[in-house]
Amino acid sequence: MADINTTPASKSTTTNQRHSTRVDMTPMVDLGFLLITFFIFTSVVAKPAALKFLLPAEGSPTPVPKTKTITILPDDNNSIICYEGIANEQPVIHHFKTSDNGLRNFIMDKRKRMSNAGISPDSLIVVIKPGDGSDYGQLMNVLDEMAICEVKRHALASRDVYDKELLIAGH
């Protein structure tokens, strides 16, 4: 706040009056607190966010029934290729674009069919196999769909020979 000079004015009319040289530091303190607040805020916002990534336990792999699996192959040009079951048994291939809700509808339909068959929809396992043409944003979109569709079990894997043959036959 500004200081109020409470000293009585002198009655002399001298030309050499001394003025107070006291500087009000209130705006400087306000600026200091604003800077401190700004740097604390930017350091909190700038913290990197990471995905929780769990690796499977060591040992032999657990067999999974093909009725509970979906494989998603993100490909170039924002296209997604999906199939149910195992690639070496020539499954039905479904093509989707990243921009539409085709993948979400496909997963929700699979969960509904599992529920109608008496299988818990939470036991659905989705294997995501990104290819050389897919990018990071496309993978994040697929992982977002896993969260939206409440898929509890999903894994990242590399494409095998059967997936590559399936892609060649499907294109």
Residue 153's CB: how many other CB atoms inside 10 A? 14
- The residue range of the domain holding 144 is 66-170
DSSP 103: H
Alpha-helical runs (H) found in 21-171: 26-45, 102-116, 136-148, 161-170
Does 22 map to a domain? no
Pairing of strands 69-74, 93-97: unpaired
Q: Which residues of the chain have pLDDT under 70?
A: 1-16, 20, 51, 169-171
Number of domains making up the chain: 1
Does 120 map to a domain? yes
Q: How do residues 127-162 score in pLDDT, each as one tens digit?
A: 999 888 888 888 888 888 898 988 988 888 888 888
The predicted pLDDT at position 134 comes to 83
The predicted pLDDT at position 52 comes to 72
CATH number where 140 lies: 3.30.420
Please compute, for residue 156, the number of CA atoms within 13 A of its CA located in the half-sphere on the CB side.
13
Does 76 map to a domain? yes
Contact 116, 59 (CB under 8 A): no
Q: Which amino acid is at 28?
A: M
Q: How far apart are CA 52 and CA 50, in angstroms?
A: 6
Give the neighbor-by-neighbor strand order of the sheet with 153-156: 93-97, 79-84, 69-74, 125-128, 153-156
Residue 119's CB: how many other CB atoms inside 10 A? 15
The predicted pLDDT at position 15 comes to 61
Does 122 map to a domain? yes
Does 46 map to a domain? no
Does 92 map to a domain? yes
The predicted pLDDT at position 38 comes to 93
Does 23 map to a domain? no
